[in-house]
Amino acid sequence: MLSPDAFRLDSKVALITGAAQGLGRSMALAFAQYGADLLLCDRKVDELAETAQAARELGANVVTEILDVRDTAAVSQWVSGLERIDVLVNNAGGTFHGAFLDASDKGQRSLVDENFTSVTNFVRAAVPHMGAGSSIINITSVEAYRAAPGFGIYGAMKAAVEHLSRTLALELSVRGIRVNTIAPDGLPTPGDAGLIVGDDDYGKKLALGWGTSDDISGAAVFLASSASRYITGTTVHVDGGSDASRGWHLDSKGNWVP
């Protein structure tokens, strides 16, 4: 019988990348509320300190590291010094708007490293510290499941993360480690500022309208907890219906039209 305690994260240690603001901060605080201790990293010094303090006020033990997740050596050095990791949340990422043909080699490398290489960095570094019953949660995007004009490389890397996660779900099952992804949309964060293009209200294309960064927390807590112990290799869409609509939108009369 499922117990309410199955959703608790007491005694678990969760590592969350990109934890200074937005989705990472929301997940960190939710994990703290559900009893987890936290290992948090980001490049934003002041914002990371604020997240850590808020989590401590909720009762969590918190360790922070100022870190560029693209730096393989730095990631390996930090994680190698950690004792135990029960939950790994690969949340860090970012993008910019621009046509594929206009992207420079430097810009492309930045997108690849921030959105994909960072995930491989942390999985390789963290798995030796993870035991049976552990959970890896990789944050992808709705852009992994549809065309992404202006965000082509970003979308491709998020699709790569989703595909890698399914493979890791099988490869790491022998260690008792589950691997799942969350694909958000409609959850504005500080990192999204200036990325919405076009004149239409994007929220009108979402069945549930705009959400908030806190709306990712329920899915993250569930996938981190033993309540999801038989779930691996799948994606939870926290997107207000974005993936379901696949091009449909509400017109001025309130009708869904293609």
* Whether 55 contacts 29, CB under 8 Å: yes
pLDDT the model gives residue 194:
60
pLDDT the model gives residue 198:
55
Token pair of 52 as six digits: 């850590």
Architecture field, domain 4-257 = 3-Layer(aba) Sandwich (3.40)
Token pair of 139 as six digits: 């944050």
> In angstroms, rounded to a whole number, what is the distance separating the alpha carbons of residues 115 and 118?
6
> In angstroms, rounded to a whole number, what is the distance separating the alpha carbons of residues 34 and 4?
11
pTM of this prediction? 0.93
pLDDT tens figures, 109-164? 999 999 999 999 999 999 999 999 999 999 999 999 988 888 899 999 999 999 99
Kindly name the residue from 34, 154, 202, 230 that is annotated as catalytic: 154
> In angstroms, rounded to a whole number, what is the distance separating the alpha carbons of residues 62 and 164?
29
* Three-class secondary structure of residue 249 per DSSP: strand
* Three-class secondary structure of residue 95 per DSSP: coil
Specify whether 34 is catalytic: no
pLDDT the model gives residue 195:
59
